[in-house]
Amino acid sequence: MARNYYWTKTWGAPDTPKHDALALSHQKTRDRILEYIQPGDIVVYLTSDGKEADPMLRGRLAGAVEIADPVETVDVESLRPGVRRPPEHYREDGRFRWPYGIAVSRCWRFIEQEQNDTLIPNHADLRMQGAATIHAMEPEEIGRLMALEVREVVEGEKPSRLPFSGSLQRPWRQKAGRREGSDVEPGTELYIALIADSHGLTFKVGSGKTEERLKALNTYRRGSEGEVLWSIKSKYEFASVDAARAAEDYILEKGKAAGHGSPDHSEFLIGMTMRRINELFSEAIAVGLAEDEREAV
């Protein structure tokens, strides 16, 4: 899917698609956007510096939404029936601030506390106009976006945290199981485990059943005595074992070629930044999905 990427300013992170939308103050602004917005386009939310903004997110990236297919208009105020909105969501004359919505199909919240300035260096130049409408992102800005970790907002579920490009590949699914006419084999997950201690960051790249592998990694670590334990940083489930292994091999090959291999274990990577491991994880998801497609033919 060919997507376009935009940004806007908001007071906080998006909710689930059922209860949220790309919300705008003026109908004319929405009408102009509807002339060019396409299904699948992404709009990134930068949290404003205003006093009304979420204090935990102020000046940082909040989240992102995907425009629904088909593109539809919605009345934003009616999306949360029975929920009392904060007084600041209404103007002095009692009108809701952002009644003119465009439906969204997926929503994400950023895990990393990335500053607005880092992703969109010139966002402040637009002043109030930054929040009034949406603005096209530059290629280098999109590139930075892809490596940032997100968690999709799914009602009643807590999906894995993934680099944004990886999360875009395929909507969240709750569990392995029968889907689209094929059985998912056991051990089809790609995972990256992480441990941070006095020696720095060490990543363990593997495939299989993530929770079983994590338990094995921590078997001889004494958490009750204060030793640092391994934790799962990222994971992704494929349709086949071969896809998960292909993705694992890709990360290890690229990491070792760049000098990040460890003499202690063939699946450890050391001396690597979070951003780079996120980029490799995203690329590996594409490799694994391509393998799934080959096996499905």
Contact in structure between 88 and 130 (CB atoms under 8 Å): no
Contact in structure between 189 and 244 (CB atoms under 8 Å): yes
Contact in structure between 95 and 48 (CB atoms under 8 Å): no
What is the pLDDT, as a whole number, of residue 175? 42
What is the distance between the alpha carbons of residues 179 and 185, in angstroms, rounded to a whole number? 12
Q: Which residue has the higher pLDDT, 237 or 5?
A: 5
Chain centre distance of CA 81: 27
Tens of pLDDT, residues 33-44: 999 999 999 999
Q: 130 pLDDT exceeds 70? A: yes
Tens of pLDDT, residues 156-181: 887 878 889 888 876 555 443 334 44
**How sure is the predictor about 1, in pLDDT bands with cuts at 50, 70 and 90?**
low
Mean pLDDT of 221-243: 90
Q: Would you say the pTM of this structure is higher than 0.85?
A: no
SS3 (DSSP) at 64? strand
Tens of pLDDT, residues 48-100: 888 888 888 899 999 999 999 999 999 988 887 777 777 888 888 888 888 99
Residue ranges of alpha helices (H) inside the chain are: 27-34, 116-119, 129-132, 139-146, 164-169, 210-217, 241-257, 274-296
What is the pLDDT, as a whole number, of residue 218? 94
The domain spans of the chain are 5-169, 189-296
CATH number given to 5-169: 3.10.590
What is the pLDDT, as a whole number, of residue 211? 92
What is the pLDDT, as a whole number, of residue 171? 59
Terminal CA-CA length for the chain: 20
Looking only at the bridges linking them, the beta strands covering 265-270 and 200-208 are: antiparallel
Task: Based on DSSP, count helices (H) and strands (E) in the chain, helices before strands.
Answer: 8, 14
